[in-house]
């Protein structure tokens, strides 16, 4: 495949993806009698197609570009044999987990990822809120790093498409999808798992980083199922105007800048950039791990 083939296929993916979102909006409006997405992140709905072009097409093409570069540097390139396809999925998922974990655990990267978590509702259009800087960041990990492990570009492109459509399914409004999916819940990310990921309930925060399977979340200790006795409350802990594009995109940077500016010494200023959100040079940490540890110590019970 050449670049033109990737571009045409990406365009087709974009059309199908936006069609799914339009159907979702129609169902929410007609069946559920709601008025969803009239203003998504401060951008009128009529602009949604253009915004989606930037946040869905460019990352896919960027992933291919990075994959082509990584494939040239791979020390042990693999062929398109049948067993490389499932291996490619697992390698892709590993790097997805890594970049997603870093996006939650490194303050500067959280500033980039936070817009995706800002809305207080889940919909398949939530991807429109991705920060523009996150697009090359995602493409580097999913394209370059996966290809550097020897996975062929064609497999990376195919898995990226699957990831995009499965991610669309994970973000569909909870009012339109089934809560449980039987045996799938044992090995696949389903809407209930991703609802946990987007929740600001302390129990659910910083969990379920993968996009398709549960493997790496299970192996690395970040898997958290949705509990029947604790519904997910969506959004981020900081007050944010999810209808304001500017507030969603830049308020985390403003908060980080205030902390960096007031921190004594270069070391503390640097640590504010790389430590998890909630870290404080005073020792009064509000990091998710600290809060969870304190809650379990007080209650004597596990948060799992």
Q: Report pLDDT digits (tens) over 214-242.
A: 999 999 999 999 999 999 999 999 888 76
pTM: 0.89
- What is the average pLDDT value for the chain, to the nearest integer? 86
Task: Report the C-alpha gap between 29 and 275 in whole angstroms.
Answer: 42
According to DSSP H, which parts of 31-152 are helical? 48-52, 58-73, 84-105, 107-117, 134-139, 146-148
φ, ψ for residue 282, nearest 5 deg: -80, -10
Task: Report the C-alpha gap between 51 and 194 in whole angstroms.
Answer: 23
Q: How many CA atoms lie within 13 A of 166 on its CB side?
A: 17
Answer for the pair 73, 148: CB distance below 8 angstroms, yes or no.
yes
What is the reported pLDDT for 8?
A: 65
Task: Report the C-alpha gap between 265 and 267 in whole angstroms.
Answer: 6
pLDDT, tens digit, 9 for 90 and up, residues 45-98: 555 556 666 666 778 889 999 999 999 999 999 999 999 999 999 999 999 999
Domain positions in the chain: 3-219, 245-299
- Whether the predicted pLDDT of 207 surpasses 60: yes
pLDDT, tens digit, 9 for 90 and up, residues 93-149: 999 999 999 999 999 999 999 988 988 888 877 766 677 788 889 999 999 999 999
Give 4's pLDDT tier (boundaries 50, 70, 90). Answer: low
Task: Report the C-alpha gap between 160 and 281 in whole angstroms.
Answer: 39
What is the reported pLDDT for 242?
A: 67
Answer for the pair 122, 179: CB distance below 8 angstroms, yes or no.
no
φ, ψ for residue 234, nearest 5 deg: -85, 155
Task: Report the C-alpha gap between 187 and 213 in whole angstroms.
Answer: 6
Return the structure tokens found at 11. 């365009």
Return the structure tokens found at 150. 């020897």
Within 10 A of 285 (CB to CB), how many other CB atoms are there?
16
Task: Report the C-alpha gap between 103 and 134 in whole angstroms.
Answer: 9
């Amino acid at each position: 495949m050449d670049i033109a083939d990737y571009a045409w296929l990406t365009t087709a993916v974009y059309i199908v993806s936006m069609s799914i979102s339009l159907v979702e909006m129609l169902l929410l409006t007609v069946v559920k009698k709601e008025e969803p997405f009239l203003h998504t992140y401060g951008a009128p709905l009529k602009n949604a197609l253009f915004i989606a072009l930037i946040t869905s097409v460019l990352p896919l093409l960027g992933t291919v570009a990075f994959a082509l570069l990584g494939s040239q540097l791979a020390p042990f390139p693999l062929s398109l044999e049948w067993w490389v396809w499932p291996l490619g999925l697992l390698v892709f998922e590993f790097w997805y987990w890594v970049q997603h974990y870093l996006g939650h655990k490194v303050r500067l990267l959280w500033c980039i990822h936070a817009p995706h978590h800002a809305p207080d509702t889940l919909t398949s259009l939530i991807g429109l809120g991705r920060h523009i800087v996150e697009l090359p960041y995602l493409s580097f990990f999913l394209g370059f790093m996966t290809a550097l492990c020897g996975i062929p570009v064609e497999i990376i492109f195919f898995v990226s498409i699957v990831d995009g459509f499965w991610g669309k399914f994970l973000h569909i409004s909870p009012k339109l999808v089934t809560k449980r999916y039987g045996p799938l819940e044992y090995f696949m990310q389903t809407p209930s798992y991703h609802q946990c990921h987007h929740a600001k309930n302390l129990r659910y925060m910083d969990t379920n980083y993968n996009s398709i399977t549960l493997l790496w979340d299970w192996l690395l200790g970040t898997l958290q199922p949705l509990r029947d006795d604790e519904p997910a409350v969506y959004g981020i802990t900081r007050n944010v105007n999810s209808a304001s594009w500017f507030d969603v995109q830049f308020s985390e940077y403003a908060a980080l800048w205030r902390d960096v500016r007031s921190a004594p010494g270069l070391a503390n200023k640097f640590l504010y950039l790389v430590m998890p959100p909630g870290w404080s040079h005073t020792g009064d940490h509000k990091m998710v791990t600290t809060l969870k540890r304190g809650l379990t110590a007080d209650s004597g019970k596990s948060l799992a």
